[in-house]
């Protein structure tokens, strides 16, 4: 930017949006005074960190939004990052959504289940958990203590259903059958939530008292049930280490950073016990550590229902007072941001920072090793298949159908031996009737090549179907390979490298060779081919299931009394998939135009029967 453009930027608080030559937002920042903050990026004498310098080189223009206060700028920055997901910002949400535990608190008989996307729907959310397995284990243990229903029915208290097996084995109170008092059930859910928040002592005392009382009455089976619940609680407590005699709830953020990445280690301390540890790894981040932590906190706590009284940080934030005010507004009570220099809090921060350093080194080492293995596998494929160049871009195709119905195809792309989901494509088979995988593959390959040629003729660079692949991999055997080879020859692409991988014996079929290649099971080249083949199969199957589920969904809606064309259209427009409707609360369904309570309940029951 030149000096004249910089002078036009106001000195008010606000948000600035850096864009590249394609007009894509690559960074969103906030400032108490916009002009000096933006000017700092373009000072000739200033030497930036390498990652900032790389970003500045890509900036073609800067837009800005002036706000009334620093707090407004902070909230706007958070929303814009979540909406646009710029390359150089902290992006807590990514393609791999972290799991959360959802408690549908707004319902008469709340449900508890795992979701990937928290929403503002009146429910309580706990997370995010970076390890889904650990979350499932915690939920399994908690269900042994609390007989919470696992079905997805929305219950208002008027329904009467036959209790399922969980009721008969003591794992559910069967509110669907009218056997559970709503107030007692909600108290149980409240206790469930308190355990998630680290409050275990009171429940342990209660279970011991009930176990002793049952034993005193010589009701040994009942006493054994309380004993099993107590053991499940003890397993949960085992995961929680006492780290402080201070009962104040705290979140502690440790940071480790170098040129190859950044890692935040979160320690969750409740009533003096370490109840959870989560780590978040990032690359290609812009700005100083202080800005990085500030942006992370906004996105992290924007999704949290619970915010502790103290948040301990490794650095003083440039907008610390505004962040504290924002957190206070979210929690509706005072939240302290603390930068300890000595004492117990400093020791806890050092523990978080040491954990962050170790995990960062481990993650970077793991990534380097994986990259070296991928490079070795690509080089071996080139030699093994006598390719003209290393297959930097590989494409794999798979056909999916159920007894010939709804045939679809998937194209997945690996770049540098790694999945590149932004280039994945789905195809509906248009020209083939019945079950004919060979003809379906030919149709898809032909459409893909013709689309790529069209983009190339229009001056495309890396658009939807460019560049062309260094290697095509087909999920199948010799027949599938011959079918694809024929259509490539028809298109004048005889020299296009293509192979097929047969699943049963993991045989690699190569054009012009009578016998397939058989590699050792531990061969990295075979692992890479298996990985792209399995990913294509997964992607095709997911697409096929979604289409069948959507058709079943429409069919179910057609059978539900009270759901006519208008309501069906409104439901499809708002939710799109049965899974999203199953996860919806009654209130969310009622927000759909024209929906009544009875119709909303009928929809949820119909989808429950469809599972």
- Cβ partners under 8 Å of residue 164, min gap 6: 151, 172, 174
Are the beta carbons of 211 and 230 closer than 8 angstroms? yes
What pLDDT score does 309 carry? 93
Phi, psi of 176 (to 5 degrees): -65, -25
Joined tokens for residue 500:
């097929």
**Local structure of residue 304 (DSSP, 8 states):** -
CATH number of 393-545: 3.30.420.340
Closest CA to 236 of 270, 188, 186: 270
Question: Distance (Å, rounded) from C-alpha 576 to C-alpha 187?
Answer: 35
Joined tokens for residue 523:
């061969």
Are the beta carbons of 553 and 607 closer than 8 angstroms? yes
Q: Residue 253's beta-bridge partner residues?
A: 266
Query: What separation in angstroms does the CA of 427 have from each of 266, 454, 493?
Result: 42, 17, 21
- Cβ partners under 8 Å of residue 154, min gap 6: 107, 585, 586, 600, 601, 604
Residue appearing with tokens 């650095």: 315
- Cβ partners under 8 Å of residue 108, min gap 6: 155, 156, 157, 182
- Cβ partners under 8 Å of residue 601, min gap 6: 154, 156, 586
What pLDDT score does 95 carry? 42
Are the beta carbons of 16 and 34 closer than 8 angstroms? yes
Report CA 217 to chain centroid distance, whole Å: 50
At 134-143, the pLDDT tens digits run 778 878 888 8
- Cβ partners under 8 Å of residue 313, min gap 6: 253, 293, 337, 338, 339
Are the beta carbons of 129 and 135 closer than 8 angstroms? yes
The sign of the torsion formed by the CA atoms of 274, 278, 279, 285 equals: negative
- Give the CA dihedral 127, 132, 137, 143, nearest 10 degrees: 60
CATH fold match for the domains 3-84 and 560-610: no
The sign of the torsion formed by the CA atoms of 4, 8, 14, 19 equals: negative
For the domain made up of 3-84, the CATH class stated in words is: alpha beta
Question: Distance (Å, rounded) from C-alpha 303 to C-alpha 126?
Answer: 9
- What is the number of other CB atoms lying within 10 angstroms of the CB of residue 175? 25
* H runs (alpha helix) in 217-342: 220-238, 289-302, 320-331
Are the beta carbons of 554 and 581 closer than 8 angstroms? no
- Cβ partners under 8 Å of residue 476, min gap 6: 437, 441, 500, 501, 502
Report CA 438 to chain centroid distance, whole Å: 35
User: For 600, how many CA atoms within 13 A lie in the half-sphere containing its CB?
Assistant: 19
Number of helices followed by number of strands (H, E) in the chain? 19, 19
Q: Residue 395's beta-bridge partner residues?
A: 413, 472
- What is the number of other CB atoms lying within 10 angstroms of the CB of residue 401? 19
* H runs (alpha helix) in 114-200: 132-145, 165-168, 182-196
Question: Distance (Å, rounded) from C-alpha 543 to C-alpha 409?
Answer: 8
The sign of the torsion formed by the CA atoms of 582, 588, 594, 598 equals: positive
Phi, psi of 601 (to 5 degrees): -65, -40
DSSP 519-545: --TT-HHHHHHHHHHHHHHHHHHHHHH
Joined tokens for residue 414:
């690996």
Domain locations in the chain? 3-84, 250-362, 393-545, 560-610
Low-confidence ranges of the chain (pLDDT < 50): 94-95
Question: Domain 560-610: what homologous superfamily?
Answer: 5' to 3' exonuclease, C-terminal subdomain (1.10.150.20)
Are the beta carbons of 107 and 331 closer than 8 angstroms? no
Phi/psi region, residue 241 (left: phi>0; alpha: psi -120 to 50; beta: rest), is beta
- Give the CA dihedral 551, 555, 556, 559, nearest 10 degrees: 170
- Tally of residues, the chain: 611
Question: Distance (Å, rounded) from C-alpha 606 to C-alpha 301?
Answer: 36
Burial category of 509 from C-beta neighbours within 10 Å (exposed 0-12, middle 13-18, buried 19 and up):
buried
First CA to last CA distance, the chain: 57
The sign of the torsion formed by the CA atoms of 99, 253, 307, 93 equals: negative
**Local structure of residue 177 (DSSP, 8 states):** G
Strands (DSSP E) contained in 244-375 are: 250-258, 261-270, 273-282, 310-312, 336-338
What pLDDT score does 1 carry? 66
∠ CA 318-126-586, nearest 5°, is 120
So what's the architecture of 250-362 in CATH?
2-Layer Sandwich (3.30)
Question: Distance (Å, rounded) from C-alpha 31 to C-alpha 386?
Answer: 56
Joined tokens for residue 588:
């969310």
């Amino acid at each position: 930017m030149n000096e004249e453009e910089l002078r036009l930027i106001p000195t008010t608080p606000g948000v600035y949006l850096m864009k590249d030559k394609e007009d894509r937002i690559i960074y969103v920042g906030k400032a108490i005074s916009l002009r000096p903050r933006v000017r700092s990026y373009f000072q000739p004498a200033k030497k930036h960190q390498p990652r900032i310098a790389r970003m500045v080189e890509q900036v073609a223009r800067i837009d800005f939004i002036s706000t009334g206060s620093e707090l407004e700028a902070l909230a706007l920055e958070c929303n814009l990052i979540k909406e646009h997901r710029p390359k150089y910002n902290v992006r807590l949400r990514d393609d791999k959504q972290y799991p959360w535990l959802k408690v549908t608190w707004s319902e008469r008989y709340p449900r508890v289940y795992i979701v990937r996307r928290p929403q503002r729907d009146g429910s309580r959310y706990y997370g995010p958990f970076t390890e889904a397995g650990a979350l499932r284990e915690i939920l399994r243990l908690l269900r042994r203590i609390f007989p919470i229903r696992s079905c997805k029915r929305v219950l208002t208290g008027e329904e009467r259903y036959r209790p399922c097996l969980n009721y008969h084995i003591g794992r559910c109170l069967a509110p669907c059958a009218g056997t559970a008092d709503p107030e007692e059930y909600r108290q149980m859910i409240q206790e469930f939530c308190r355990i998630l928040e680290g409050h275990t002592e009171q429940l342990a005392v209660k279970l011991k008292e009930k176990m002793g009382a049952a034993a005193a009455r010589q009701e040994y089976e009942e006493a054994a049930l309380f004993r099993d619940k107590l053991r499940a609680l003890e397993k949960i407590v085992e995961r929680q280490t006492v780290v402080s005699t201070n009962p104040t709830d705290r979140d502690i953020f440790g940071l480790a950073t170098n040129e190859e990445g950044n890692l935040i280690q979160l320690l969750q301390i409740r009533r003096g016990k370490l109840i959870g540890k989560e780590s978040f790894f990032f690359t290609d981040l812009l700005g100083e550590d202080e800005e990085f932590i500030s942006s992370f906190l906004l996105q992290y706590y924007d999704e949290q229902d619970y915010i502790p009284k103290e948040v301990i940080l490794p650095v003083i934030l440039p907008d610390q007072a505004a962040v504290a005010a924002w957190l206070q507004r979210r929690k509706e009570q005072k939240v302290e941001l603390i930068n300890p220099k000595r004492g117990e809090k400093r020791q806890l921060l050092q523990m978080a920072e040491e954990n962050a350093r170790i995990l960062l080194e481990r993650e970077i080492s793991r990534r380097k090793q994986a990259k070296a293995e991928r490079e070795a596998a690509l080089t071996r494929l080139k030699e093994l298949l006598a390719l003209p160049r290393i297959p930097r871009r590989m494409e794999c195709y798979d056909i999916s159908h159920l007894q010939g119905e709804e045939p679809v195809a998937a194209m997945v792309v690996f770049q540098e031996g790694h999945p590149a989901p932004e280039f994945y494509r789905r195809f509906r088979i248009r020209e083939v009737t019945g079950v004919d995988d060979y003809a379906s593959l030919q149709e898809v390959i032909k459409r893909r090549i013709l689309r790529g040629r069209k983009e190339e003729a229009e001056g495309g660079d890396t658009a939807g179907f460019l560049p062309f692949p260094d290697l095509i991999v087909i999920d199948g055997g010799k027949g599938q390979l011959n079918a694809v080879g024929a259509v490539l020859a028809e298109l004048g692409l005889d020299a296009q490298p293509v192979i097929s991988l047969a699943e049963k014996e993991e045989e690699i079929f190569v054009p012009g060779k009578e016998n397939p290649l058989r590699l050792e099971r531990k061969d990295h080249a075979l692992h890479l081919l298996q990985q792209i083949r399995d990913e294509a199969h997964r992607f095709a199957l997911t697409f096929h299931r979604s289409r069948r589920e959507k058709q079943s969904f429409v069919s179910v809606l057609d059978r539900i009394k009270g759901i006519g064309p208008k309501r069906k259209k409104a439901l499809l427009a708002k939710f799109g998939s049965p899974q999203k409707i199953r996860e919806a609360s009654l209130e969310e369904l009622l927000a759909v135009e024209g929906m009544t309570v009875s119709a909303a309940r009928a929809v949820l029951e119909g989808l429950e029967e469809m599972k």
